[in-house]
A and B are shown apart, each in its own frame.
Chain A
Amino acid sequence: MLSFLSQGRRGSGWGMALPALLLLLAFFVIPVAGLLSRSVTEPQPGLQNYETLLGSFTYIRIFLNTFLVSGVVTLITALIAFPVAWALAIMSPRIASVLFAVILLSMWTNLLARTYAWMVLLQQTGLVNKLLMGLGLTSQPLQLTNNLIGVTIGMVYIMLPFMILPLYGVIRKIDPAILQAAALCGATKGQALRRVLLPLAAPGIASGALMVFVMSLGYFVTPSLLGGTSNMMVAELIVQQVQSLVNWGMGGAAAFILLVVTLALYALQLRLFDAEAR
């Protein structure tokens, strides 16, 4: 999904892109630069904000939490999205368009509403726990909110469309006859998946994973509602620093570390997959 940004007609259309570029400059580049400068100037000039963040176990744990949750969310999302995208690609276009409408509708529903819905579903007396106990899978209610389990469940649900769409894009372009050819060559279903389907879908998996991972890194609403205070994520830390403590320097430094990680991952993805496509 991200890769289309780098495709298209290069070198033309600057004039038409100008308003958007100006907007980006005014509301993204300048504020980010401001934040960055505040991270090395407040409360006094120097790198002490970064030293604090990367030097204390409390803060490092927040970063590790964030990367762990984002990684797990990305992995689970990919595992769920792949069969869905595959099914969408091979089913009749009419049924597929209905399913797409369902996926998009869930995407367009208010994020807060969806997260509160998960809070209700996942609480001690919620539907999920009742179901698990009713089926005899657990004897007492599981703690599914106020921790990283709740955050992961809620985020996987929210991120699914961002994985399904790019995966659907690549899978739809794979000629089904290629898989028939693999079968006649003697490949079992597993071998065809491993040796043919996954490598061909890899660019879609990569752009979906990048999208989900990066969005997860900076997610605020779901972690703050479904997560506990003891398992903070970076976005919560930034909000806390800026809103409650009015510590722009620390908030800026945390935000900048996330930005660097994001850009590094994006560069890696471009290097791995766009070079191949060229």
Chain B
Amino acid sequence: MSSPYLHINGIRKTFGDVVATDHVELEIAEGEFMTFLGPSGSGKSTTLYILAGFQDPTAGDIKLRGKSILQTPSHKRQIGMVFQRYTLFPHLSVGENVAFPLRVRRAPQAEIAAKVKRALSLVRLDGFEDRMPAKMSGGQQQRVALARALVYDPPVLLMDEPLSALDKKLREEIQHEIRRIHQETGVTILYVTHDQEEALRLSDRIAVFNKGKIEQVGTGPQLYASPATHFVADFIGDSAFLGGELAAVASGRASLRFADGTVLADVPMHGTGSAGGKASLMLRPERIELAAGPGAAGASLPVTIEDVTFLGNNSTVSARTGWGDVLSVRLNFGHPMMGQVQRGDALHVRWQPQDAHVFART
């Protein structure tokens, strides 16, 4: 078996009694766009800082092309990085900022000029060489930072929430740029964000971090369609959770009993749990049908309509189950029930068996 391009091998980092990351294990292919997604304090940034060499792991190793890089100081790792805050050198022009990595490597003047021009062209800032960073917008500054990080063709580019300081519209614009640059350069990117939409839009694969551990690694559609844990299901996309108790568990399928005694049988089960344990049923809002009665096939539950909110291209309907849990159902514009459903209606929610998931709760 050939060794992976970048191997994050069992990284653990503790600060006193606090465990920042625990046994983070990840293999990244050359040219891959990998995103670390998770809430703040989940260990994603710590993992990135260890890669950058700003922190040393308590245990574990990081290998690039089969060789450990942990003994190499930051300035010799050749890794590129774009930071959350604007970290351009304020006393240097845009051109000199981009030239900086080449100057400290004592590259010949002609090579510097050519590479700076190419890098600025890559981020679509041709001709901005003489501008001072303070005279540029936040989006432009981050593009310069990107050019500076890419100018020496690093084997890996780290990005630590680079768009968090920008407004939504600009963020989307630069997300497009980052995708294009990734495609044009083929550089391996490790991207940290807490924004699931950003992660889904940009990444080849996503590693979902929670409490210092990776909960699941996969492509966006994989994570959305088959989340491995309750946390992933909750973090990626909208979802409705109905709490209950496991009635029976057998070969990846479970029967779930709700508070009013209703039992749903044969639902795909994730994680380990045994009969009598607590569990949640997860449903995606767009997979739930609203109907007058139970269908001939599939699962269903009787509900009472609590509230209907019209949102333009869809309406969100809050439906209360017999035991008091509320789940939201999306009705697309033009749906026969849109405009018909009213508060207090007694209806049924229905779904296909493969669209529901049970997560054991510990």
Contact = CB atoms under 8 A, between A and B. Distances in A.
Tell whether A and B belong to one assembly: yes
Interface of A: 175, 177-178, 180-188, 191, 195-196, 199-200
Given A177-B83, A181-B83, A184-B77, 5 more contacts: A177-B84, A177-B85, A178-B87, A184-B52, A196-B89
B169 interface: no
B152 interface: yes
B330 interface: no
B90 A200 contact: yes
Contacts of B80: 184
A177 B90 contact: no
Contacts of A187: 75, 100, 104
Contacts of B135: none
The interface centre, meaning the residue of A175, A182, A186, A199 with most chain B CB atoms within 10 A of its CB, is: A186
B104 A181 contact: no
A191 B91 CA distance: 15
A38 to B, nearest CB: 47
B101 interface: yes
Given A180-B52, A181-B81, A184-B80, A175 B87 contact: yes
Contact of A186 (B52, B90, B91, B105): B105
B148 interface: yes
B225 interface: no
A187 B148 CA distance: 13
A180 B75 contact: no
Interface string B64-102: 000000000111111111011101011100000000110
B310 interface: no
A177 B104 contact: no
Contacts of A188: 75, 104
A178 B91 CA distance: 12
B54 interface: yes
A186 B75 contact: yes
Contact of A182 (B77, B79, B89): B89
Contacts of B53: 183-184
Interface string B141-159: 0000100110010000000
Contact of B78 (A182, A186, A196, A199): A186
A196 B100 CA distance: 10
A183 B149 CA distance: 12
A176 to B, nearest CB: 10
Contacts of A181: 81, 83, 87, 89, 145, 148
A185 B104 contact: yes
Contacts of B152: 186
A184 B89 contact: no
Given A185-B148, A187-B75, A180 B101 contact: no
